[in-house]
A and B are shown apart, each in its own frame.
Chain A
Amino acid sequence: MNPLELTRARPGEPFTVTFDGRPVAALPGQTVAAALWAAGVTAWRSTRGAGRPRGVFCGIGVCFDCLVTVDGRPNQRACLVPVHPGDEIRTQEGTGQDDARPGEAGPARD
């Protein structure tokens, strides 16, 4: 049994995204976090202090632990952001500002 079978889901065609350069299959409607969990990935950020791995914690957009870089935009909450075909998902190192493409700094910090 898996969640798709349990809910008798007929998802749309899977598509490919990349996580740190390697291809990962994703389903339409999933968030970035759901796609990564389904691929067996549970960590996609390293903290800016101790460089420790983090992934989903609260799962509802409150804790900001699941921040990730998508298409050069750091600080995206993976549990909220829908995944799109061709997304380049990268592990966010620290504040993620080194990953940012020009003009893609992501939401401002307080």
Chain B
Amino acid sequence: MRDRGKRGRPVTEPPHLASAGEKQNRTGTGRPHLAVVGAGPAGLAGALAAAARGIRVTLVDAAGQAGGQFYRQPAPALGARRPQALHHQWRTWVRLRDGLDRHRTSGRITHRTDHHVWCVERDCASGRFRVHALLGPAQEEGGTVDADAVLLATGGYERVLPFPGWTLPGVVTAGGAQAMLKGGLVLPGRTAVVAGTGPLLLPVATGLAAAGARVAALVESAGPAALLRRAPALAAQPGKLAEGAGYAARLLRHGVPALVRHTVVAAHGTDRLEAVTVAALDRTGQIRPGGTRRVPCDTLAVGHGMLPHTDLAETLGCTLSGPAVRVDGEQRTDVPGVWAAGEATGVGGAALALAEGHIAGRSVAARLHGTVPDPGRWAAAARTRDRLRKFAAALDAVYAPPAGWAAGVTDDTVVCRCEEVTAGEVRVAAGPLGAGDLRTVKLLTRAGMGWCQGRMCAPAVAGLTGCPLTPGRRPFARPVPLGVLAALPDADGTGPDRNGPD
């Protein structure tokens, strides 16, 4: 039970400052305090840059170890002596990890692991922030971190478009297969097909093959012509092209056949995956008649690109640009005190996230010290950022899902995996029932109303109905136990928090 008197806080202290979070964080140094949400490349780069410039940083992350998805580490108890065998750009990770260790030892960075952030609240009167998180794997208790500024480095998640059979066990997202491999050192099966579109498919296929899976095919819907059309933008990135060539060589070495301008049109099996049907696409992205083959497999790792996690930014009132958080040259959102970096501001990969995080951290440091930052100080990072954003835009145009994908989704295909809503029901909602936006489709069919809150099905529902893919506007970034909500203080500082659990 809490007892404010014992902590000697003045009774007149605003309720926003008198919290469990303060107890955790106030060290009495008086240094300005930044909360960084997410310990992937963007969050780490931001935390290191700010901490090096006299800012006290609390790094809040859902995982048990830093790294995010790109640098996801195996659990220490697994005793991996060579985790880098599953990674790329390992030296960069070592630099980030060592930097984090140094700043943690010196007390400049506090790393809060197993903190699943569900909301960031801004107190309009004070301009300060409270980060609300659920703690530990159980996620039944809440915790808070209070800060003067927030850097949202929330990353992204995979877009997967539906096809008949995609709910069968054995069908996983490409990133999911990679996450389970990097974090748990396990494979989903013996024989895998890696399919969809996007630059993620190459490392997933080579990773699964290196770890001992037989990769029966890498199926990429984009064709070489699309790559050639973007040749000038792509050729401006010799490092990236070399990276791609490296993956191609590894595919060859592992004997992985690559099928470009092909797509998986169906997954087969009764209670688990047994095979997929792969079809050839014509130049317009439509399925070529007669060009199908059946590939036996027990695993399909499938993905169609990434989407930014923007829930926390949306709740704070940050303006979005398309699906991503809009930021200025300093990585500031349009809400005072809120910065954003990495995939949340537009999907572009780890190197871009590092540059954005670095710029954000430097900007935060200057602003919290009450000075105006000089962008000349981060000119190199800004050049990298501009270059990689152009590269990401070029890749985005190349790796679009095949134009005809929606036509291949049969009416009995489940589209909303949580609520088991079929493509037929979604089509009826948008057709005869006249729904013109995702929210109305959801209210009519329950598509997007389940556990995942539409994260998995929204791109599919949008594509099937022609409704625009609008932000979900979820008040909470994840399901929150009612007990955690009930224990929150009221706006006036009264309410159950006074006697609630700490």
Contacts and interface: CB of A to CB of B under 8 A. Distances in A.
Interface string B421-464: 00000000000000000000000000000111101100000000
Nearest to A44: B169
B479 A108 contact: yes
Contact of B188 (A8, A56, A63): A56
A64 B478 CA distance: 11
A57 B170 CA distance: 8
Given A2-B212, A6-B86, A57 B185 contact: no
Interface in B162-183: 167-173, 175-181, 183
Contacts of B98: none
A104 to B, nearest CB: 10
A107 B77 contact: no
Interface residues of B, number: 61
Interface residues of A, number: 51
B125 interface: no
Contacts of B450: 64
Contacts of B377: none
B78 A11 contact: yes
B185 A42 contact: no
A10 interface: yes
Nearest to A56: B172
A55 B85 CA distance: 27
Interface string A1-34: 1111111111110000000000000011111011
B417 A65 contact: yes
Q: Which one of B140, B178, B185 has the greatest number of beta carbons of chain A within 10 Å?
A: B185
Interface string B138-174: 0110000000000000000110000000011111110
A29 B77 contact: yes
B287 interface: no
Contacts of A5: 212
A1 B173 contact: no
A34 B180 contact: yes
Given A6-B86, A60-B175, A47 B184 contact: no
Contacts of B400: none
Contact of B452 (A55, A63, A76): A63
A84 to B, nearest CB: 10
Interface string B270-288: 0110000000000000000
Question: Which secondary structure dominates chain A's binding surface?
Answer: loop
A54 B167 contact: yes
A28 to B, nearest CB: 4
A107 B479 contact: yes
A84 B455 CA distance: 30
Contact of A37 (B116, B188, B420): B188
Contacts of B186: 3, 30, 34, 37-38
A108 B79 CA distance: 35
Nearest to B476: A110
Contact of B79 (A12, A54, A109): A12
Contact of B451 (A7, A12, A109): A109
B79 A58 contact: no
Given A34-B186, A37-B184, A53 B271 contact: yes
A43 B79 contact: no
Nearest to A60: B179
Contact of B181 (A3, A9, A10): A3
A101 interface: no
Q: Which one of B75, B81, B85, B455 has the greatest number of beta carbons of chain A within 10 Å?
A: B75
Nearest to A27: B78
B35 to A, nearest CB: 21
Contact of A9 (B79, B271, B419, B479): B79
Given A4-B185, A9-B79, 7 more contacts: A7-B82, A55-B169, A63-B455, A64-B418, A76-B137, A80-B137, A110-B476
Interface of B: 62, 69, 74-83, 85-86, 116, 137, 139-140, 157-158, 167-173, 175-181, 183-189, 210-212, 271-272, 417-420, 450-453, 455-456, 476, 479-482
Enumerate the 7 nearest inter-chain pairs by beta-carbon distance, A residue then B residue, closest first: A59-B176, A34-B184, A29-B75, A29-B77, A64-B451, A28-B77, A1-B212
